[in-house]
Amino acid sequence: MISYNKAKSLIQINVKKSKKTEFVDLFQSNKRILSENIKSKVDQPRLDLSAMDGMVIFERDYCRDKFRLIGESKAGDKFSNDFKTGEAKLIFTGAPVPGTKKIIIPKENFTVDENKKEIKINKKINQNFIRKKGIDFKKNQECLFKNAVMNLRSMALAKSMKVKRLNVKKKPEIYLIVTGDELITQKNKSGLIESSNEILISHLISKFGGKLKKVFTVGDKIDDFQKTFDSLDYFDLLITSGGISRGKYDIVKKVLVKNNLNILFDRIAIKPGKPTTFGKFKKERYFLGLPGNPVSCFISMFLFFSNYINSYYGFDFLKLHQRKLISKNQIKKNNSLTSFLRIRTNNKLNSFSIFENQDSSLQKTLNQSDGIVIRKPNSKAVKKGDSVDVILFRDILDNEI
């Protein structure tokens, strides 16, 4: 049995950074990882534009008080004709500025005589209101960078850069096999429990940056599992749930070892999740075996799949941020295992309570949990009011915009 830190280290050492990339449409790029720097195809803005509604005049005419009104420039115009000294145009926010060497006077600082086609400046401000061509970014300027994770703001930036397709890192392709004679399925309607792990694992695969190819549910028969395994085409990672302990009907490892799986670890000094297994097939294909117990399954998926994803992408795509909160409970000295205790925070997110019953079968408690405390082996007791490092699920699971 190995330590929690050793298990994470073995994943990091053995999972090689993927070099696979693909092009995706801009509108499908949210949460995708850029595989190269991206240059803008245009200046932004493409012309000198007005930053407000007002009038535009020559800089050298700023000493004048009256001007002849000769027209206007509005947003949407692709061009605005220049004019002569002593003349002026009305201009609106986002409109092109005529010619060069101009200044803009805000509309509240002048009056217009429509009959005389005359503008009179009432107040002068030593400030210009022109957004210069390329002030945001210039053509061929790199604005998005390799390993950046796309979000709504960077997608909007790419749209302004006139980028339609992005070269991104390809997601790991993953199969999921859920095992157990006790599961209620299409073929086993007399089963005893619902396959809730399928929901947990499937959504975490998607949320954490993987691509789920297909889900299979099989019983605890070696032939059935082997047949399912034989049906798989290419994958980067095979995840299973259940059947990885050392009992009579725990058949997953027996089958996979016969199919050239090299087991890197299959017992970890943690609670819950002790039987979590990780291994490697040939050609950079990997295996993550999760416990069948739903809470153990979730905790191991949360911690070890995130570790795999970061190794696959080659950087910390997922960050298990720890924050310090005040404990509202006394927590006794820990035993020799790394323990993951489910917690509930208060409304202000500055303190937490430990659930009294930490039994790993309690899905209702997991549902009510806001995060976990990771208790290191033999860590000392925590007093009520002590500051403790916790991981909140919302810090990693909530969508960034």
Hey, CA dihedral for 53, 55, 61, 62, is it positive or negative? negative
Q: Is the pLDDT of residue 346 over 80?
A: yes
Q: Is the pLDDT of residue 149 over 90?
A: yes
Q: Mean pLDDT: which of 245-254, 256-265, 391-400 is highest?
A: 256-265
Q: Is the pLDDT of residue 299 over 70?
A: yes
Q: Is the pLDDT of residue 64 over 70?
A: yes
Type of residue at 87:
E
> Could you tell me if 345 and 273 are in contact, meaning their C-beta atoms sit under 8 angstroms apart?
no
> Could you tell me if 284 and 237 are in contact, meaning their C-beta atoms sit under 8 angstroms apart?
no
| pLDDT confidence bin for 19, thresholds 50/70/90 | very high
Conformational region of residue 95, where left means phi above 0, alpha means psi within -120 to 50, and beta covers everything else: beta
Q: What's the average model confidence in pLDDT over 254-266?
A: 96
> Could you tell me if 164 and 155 are in contact, meaning their C-beta atoms sit under 8 angstroms apart?
no
Give the count of beta carbons closer than 10 Å to the beta carbon of residue 12. Answer: 12
Q: Which CATH superfamily, name and number, covers 49-131?
A: Molybdopterin biosynthesis moea protein, domain 3. (2.170.190.11)
Domain 21-44+136-169 sits in CATH 3.90.105.10: yes
- pTM here is 0.87
CATH class of 323-397: mainly beta
Q: Is the pLDDT of residue 243 over 90?
A: no
Any idea where the domains of the chain sit in the sequence? 4-15+170-313, 21-44+136-169, 49-131, 323-397
What is the C-alpha separation between 293 and 296, in angstroms, rounded? 5
List C-alpha distances in Å: 68 to 49, 53, 114, 121: 22, 18, 10, 12
pLDDT at 237: 98
Higher-pLDDT residue of 226, 347: 226
The matching CATH number, chosen from 3.40.710.10, 1.10.3470.10, 3.40.980.10, 3.30.365.10, for 4-15+170-313 is 3.40.980.10
What is the C-alpha separation between 26 and 102, in angstroms, rounded? 37
Q: What's the average model confidence in pLDDT over 231-238?
A: 97
pLDDT at 182: 67
Residue environment code for 233-256, b if the CB has 16+ CB neighbours within 10 A, otherwise e: eebbbbbbbbbbbeeeebbbbebb
| pLDDT confidence bin for 348, thresholds 50/70/90 | confident
What is the C-alpha separation between 184 and 195, in angstroms, rounded? 7
Q: What's the average model confidence in pLDDT over 230-258?
A: 90
Q: Is the pLDDT of residue 267 over 80?
A: yes
List C-alpha distances in Å: 94 to 91, 111, 196, 274, 351: 9, 21, 54, 62, 49
Q: Going along 95-234, which residue ranges are E strands? A: 102-106, 110-113, 118-121, 130-131, 142-144, 165-169, 173-179, 211-218
Q: Which of 47-61, 103-117, 330-344, 387-401 has the lowest mean pLDDT?
A: 387-401
Q: Which H helix or E strand runs over 277?
A: strand 277-280
Structure tokens that stand for 254 in this block: 């027996």
Mean pLDDT for all residues in the chain: 93
Q: Which of 58-67, 127-136, 246-255, 275-284 has the lowest mean pLDDT?
A: 246-255
| pLDDT confidence bin for 268, thresholds 50/70/90 | very high
pLDDT digits (tens, 9 = 90+) for 65-95: 999 999 999 999 999 999 999 999 999 999 9
Share of the chain above pLDDT 90, in %: 85
* Cβ within 8 Å of residue 369, ≥6 positions away: 342, 343, 344, 355, 393
Give the count of beta carbons closer than 10 Å to the beta carbon of residue 4. Answer: 21
Q: Is the pLDDT of residue 190 over 70?
A: no
| Phi, psi (degrees; rounded to nearest 5) at 268 | -125, 145
What is the C-alpha separation between 156 and 247, in angstroms, rounded? 54
Higher-pLDDT residue of 349, 247: 349
End-to-end CA distance of the chain: 41
pLDDT digits (tens, 9 = 90+) for 361-378: 899 999 999 999 999 999
What is the C-alpha separation between 45 and 65, in angstroms, rounded? 31
pLDDT at 220: 86
Hey, CA dihedral for 45, 51, 56, 59, is it positive or negative? negative
* Cβ within 8 Å of residue 224, ≥6 positions away: 218
| pLDDT confidence bin for 180, thresholds 50/70/90 | confident
Beta strand 49-50 with 130-131: parallel, antiparallel or unpaired?
A: antiparallel
